[in-house]
Amino acid sequence: MKKNFILSDINNLKGVGPQLTKYLKKKKIEKIKDIILSLPYSETDRSKIYKLKDLQVGKIQTVKVLVKKLNFPRIRNLPNKISCEDETGKIEIVYFNSREGYLRKLFLLNKFVIISGKVSYYNNKYQITNPDYVTSLENQEYVVKNIPKYNLTKGINEKKYRNISEQVIGNLPKIVDWLDEKFIKDNKLLNWNECIKKLHNSKEGQNNQSKSFRRIVFDELCANFLTLSENRKRIRINKSPKKFTNKNSELIKKSLPFKLTNDQETVINEINQDLLSDRRMFRIIQGDVGSGKTIVSILSILNVIKSGYQCALMSPTEILAKQHYTLIKKIFKNENFDIEFLTGKTEYKSRNVILTNLISGKIKLLIGTHALFQKKINFQKLGLVIIDEQHKFGVKQRSELAKKGGNECDVLLMSATPIPRTMMMSIYGDMDISKITEKPSKRKKIITLSKPEKKISELWPFIKKQLLNNNQVFWVCPLIEDSAFLDYSSAKEKFKIIDKIFPNKVGLIHGGLKNEEKDKILKSFLQKKISILVTTTVIEVGIDFPNANLIVIENANKFGLAQLHQLRGRVGRGEKQGTCILLFKDGLSKNAIKRIKVLKNSNDGFFIAEEDLKLRGFGDLIGFQQSGVKSFRFADPVIHEDLFKLAEKYVQNLRGYMDQNKYSFLLKLFDRAEIINTSEL
Ligand code: ADP
Ligand code: MG
């Protein structure tokens, strides 16, 4: 068998016709390599030959018996029966829908046969109906052993699948391993061929800590990291350096009501270096909620505009885009360049004006939602794209985005979702990472409390006090309206209740509202015309209300840790003490209790992300599932943390030089090649 054969379609195997191809496809087995990657989940033990007197009903067992009599009834629908025996008893082998000629060849009178199948008991006799295997003594090794058990589907039985998988696993090509012997030995891994055989033919495939399992995990991680590293190479191409001095940003800094933190200054420097360099920037700022990423991005926008380019700033929601627009207009009030706002809802006429002024270069900064990336939107000289809160962007989208701006366009992403250290390379391996861990100095730690839902009435006096002190409150519910199926509270119902207690002070906002309505309500909250905002998670991302310092979250156990931390980050952004109250129903799980503890004890998003990973597993890691980064088939950042580090080091040591001959098979094995989309691979 050749390497390329493994990468070809499954129907190239002997015995795999259109019908079987269809069934295998249901199990996501489309290429021959998928057989290699589909590990057995257990084994069927056919290794012991039982005496008939020792048989156990309901189990799959193997017997060696003498064929005594074949019985083929001439009446339709009656089964064919073969009577057999050993020195301890008798057994009947029963066949439905079988052909006489076939059975006569299989069962020779007065000869011994090996039979393996599920034992039953009927009419005082042991029976095996439609046995899995019948074979002569000479061929018994094929049957009398432990046989790997795969996750099969209708239309494929064990024997059929074995025929396919053994063709592949038994004939693996002798490939030159991409890992050298010393590396394999030093890190207690296995060579590739041996690893694959063991994964299929021993219990190692079922043990995610076994040597061979760890080897395939390592391969999967390498494939992933190499892809990102290649992607990075393709993005970090040459560009002309932007030209600006610090003069302009210093003026803006002076006009701010606060001093930047050290982390903010460091990140601004990192970005400036990128802008001034002759390589395209592809950087993400990872900063906890409220760490002050926005101002950092605003200063880079200024620098890029000053060097004669246009900028685009994209936000995931309209509310957030509008907030940026308002803030930036204010900060740039003394600058005389055009700033425009564009969303999918911008009216046709004004949209056309914007399009014209973009292409002529009159507009220097365009702020908006996904609409910024519509086909028709063309810039005269786009120099920087900034995407806010876009941890949910996948690798593929990121590289497409980078293409959009053309070769001169730098790209800056911002995310308020800290990623656990182990996952950093898997998710952002194609980018440079800037971290803001420090919070603005005057910011106080948010106090987090938990309360059973039935004591909700104890909150009213507390809220009353807040309102008297001129503070504002967010009240978060998981649902927009009551649901017949889910026992969660809804924003609409809660609004009615709270509105009765605090008349004329409560607003309601949720994703079901029209944007104009949303804007109106947010405005009245911002202008303190209302004091309590009942909401769904629409407020989760990015919005800044410095005067809000209490957030109540209902059915808090419905949310993940990272998401709760995000929500909590909506308050305590000003200088006043922020409080977060988590409401729960009774009977919390142990896990839920642990999660509350984590939140109560920490305000550090990076720490919380690590804990979230441990408690919920990486399948739930916020943003990861949606990120489009292919989720791992074998690797688990909790169980295989050391291998994540090892693979990271391994790929870093290649220093961006990937020997395609060596690694292309690996990348194709794990379906990574199409992401980087090279013709050579
Ligand atoms: P995020 O990183 O979550 O996007 P923002 O950029 O929205 O956070 O900043 C949160 C709040 O903190 C804003 O009101 C902003 O004006 C303020 N802020 C930013 N940097 C500082 C700083 N160095 N000192 C004090 N307040 C700051
Ligand atoms: Mg933000």
Dist. CA 523 → ligand 2 center (Å) = 18
Nearest CA to ligand 1 atom 15: 292
Mean pLDDT by 10 residues, the chain (681 residues): 87 90 91 94 94 95 96 88 95 91 94 96 92 94 93 86 92 89 93 94 91 96 89 86 93 93 96 96 89 95 96 87 93 94 90 95 94 85 88 64 77 86 82 88 83 91 92 92 79 93 93 82 88 85 79 88 86 83 85 86 87 72 48 86 94 81 87 57 31
Q: Which residue has the tokens 């379906």?
A: 671
Minimal-distance CA residue to ligand 1 atom 26: 440
Give me the helix-helix angle, 262-276 and 293-306, nearest 10°: 30
- Closest-lying ligand 1 atom to the alpha carbon of residue 291: 2
User: Is-contact 586 454, C-beta < 8 A?
Assistant: yes
Question: Under a CB-based contact definition with an 8 Å cutoff, are residues 278 and 429 in contact?
Answer: no
Pocket of ligand 1 (CB under 6 A): 258, 260-261, 264, 287, 289-295, 416, 440, 542, 544, 546, 573
At 622 the pLDDT is 47
What's the Cα-to-Cα distance from 236 to each of 168, 282, 406, 423, 629, rounded to whole Å? 40, 7, 12, 22, 20
Rounded Cα distance, 458 and 642, in Å: 48
Instruction: Choose which residue among 294, 297, 543, 606 to substitute to test ligand 1 binding: the one with the highest number of ligand atoms within 8 A of its C-beta.
Output: 294
Residue 681: the pLDDT is 31
Residue to mutate, 252, 256, 258, ligand 1, most ligand atoms under 8 Å from C-beta:
258
Q: Tell me how crowded residue 680 is: count the other CB atoms within 10 A of its CB.
A: 7
* Burial environment of residue 284 by CB neighbours within 10 A (0 to 12, 13 to 18, 19 or more): buried
DSSP bridge pairs for 338: 363
What's the pLDDT score for residue 628? 43
CA of 212 from ligand 2 middle (Å) equals 44
Q: Which residues surround ligand 2, an ion (CB under 5 A)?
A: 542
Quote the pLDDT of residue 232: 83
Q: Coil, strand, or helix at residue 109? A: coil
293 CA distance to ligand 2 centroid (A)?
A: 6
Task: Enter the tokens of residue 464.
Answer: 């009353």
**Smallest CA separation from ligand 1 atom 17, residue:** 292
How far is Cα 108 from Cα 116, in angstroms, rounded to an integer? 17
> Is 62 strand, coil or helix?
strand
Q: Which of 544, 545, 571 to mutate to test the pocket of ligand 1 (most atoms within 8 A of CB)?
A: 544
Q: Residue 662 C-alpha to ligand 1 middle, in angstroms?
A: 47
User: Rounded CA gap, 604 and 524, in Å?
Assistant: 31
Residue among 223, 229, 225, 234 nearest 665 (CA) = 223
CB 277 within 8 Å of CB 425: no
The C-alpha angle 222, 224, 225, rounded to 5 degrees, equals 65
Query: Which string of b and e fits 327-364 if b means at least 16 CB within 10 Å?
Result: ebeebbeebeeebbbbbeebeeeebeebbebbeeeebb
For residue 293, which ligand has an atom nearest its CA? 1
Ligand that comes closest to the CA of residue 327: 1
**End-to-end Cα separation, the chain, in angstroms:** 20
CA–centroid distance, 576 to ligand 2, in Å, is 19
Q: Whose CA is nearest to atom 16 of ligand 1?
A: 292
Distance from C-alpha of 646 to C-alpha of 205, rounded to nearest angstrom: 21
Q: By alpha-carbon position, which residue is closest to atom 5 of ligand 1?
A: 292
Tell which atom from ligand 1 comes closest to the C-alpha of 569. Answer: 3
Distance CA 679, CA 681 (A): 6
Distance CA 381, CA 681 (A): 33
Report how far ligand 1's centroid is from the alpha carbon of 432 (Å). 22
H-assigned helices in 170-255: 181-186, 192-201, 211-235, 247-255
Q: How many angstroms separate the alpha carbon of residue 102 from the centre of ligand 2? A: 73
CB within 8 Å of 590: residues ≥ 6 apart: none
Give the ligand whose atoms come closest to the C-alpha of residue 569. Answer: 1
The per-residue b/e assignment along 570-597, b for 16 or more CB within 10 angstroms, e otherwise, is bbbbbebebbbbbbbbeebeeebeebbe
Nearest residue (CA) to ligand 1, atom 24: 440
Residue 425: its pLDDT value, please? 83
Q: Encoding tokens for residue 630? A: 């292919």
CA of 388 to the centre of ligand 2 (A): 7
Our CA angle for 43, 47, 52, nearest 5°, is 120
**Spatial separation of the C-alpha atoms in residues 254 and 248, rounded to whole Å:** 10
Domains of the chain: 48-144 (2.40.50.140), 247-436 (3.40.50.300), 447-602 (3.40.50.300)
CA of residue 186 to ligand 1 center, whole Å: 47
User: Best substitution site from 256, 291, 386, 436 to test ligand 1's pocket, by max atoms within 8 Å of Cβ?
Assistant: 291
**Cα of 541 to ligand 1 centre, how many Å?**
14
Q: Which helix (H) or strand (E) holds 581?
A: strand 579-584
User: Tokens representing 469?
Assistant: 């002190």
* Greatest pairwise CA separation for the chain in angstroms: 104
Determine the Cα–Cα distance for residues 560 and 79; give it in Å rounded to an integer. Answer: 57
Ligand 2 centroid vs 200 CA: distance in angstroms?
48
CB-hemisphere CA count at 13 Å for 577? 5
- Of 330, 526, 573, the one to substitute when testing ligand 1's pocket (max ligand atoms within 8 A of C-beta) is 573
Decide: 216 and 56 in contact? Cβ < 8 Å: no
**Which distant-in-sequence residues (6+ apart) come within 8 Å of 219 by Cβ?**
192, 666, 669, 670
| pLDDT the model gives residue 399 | 65
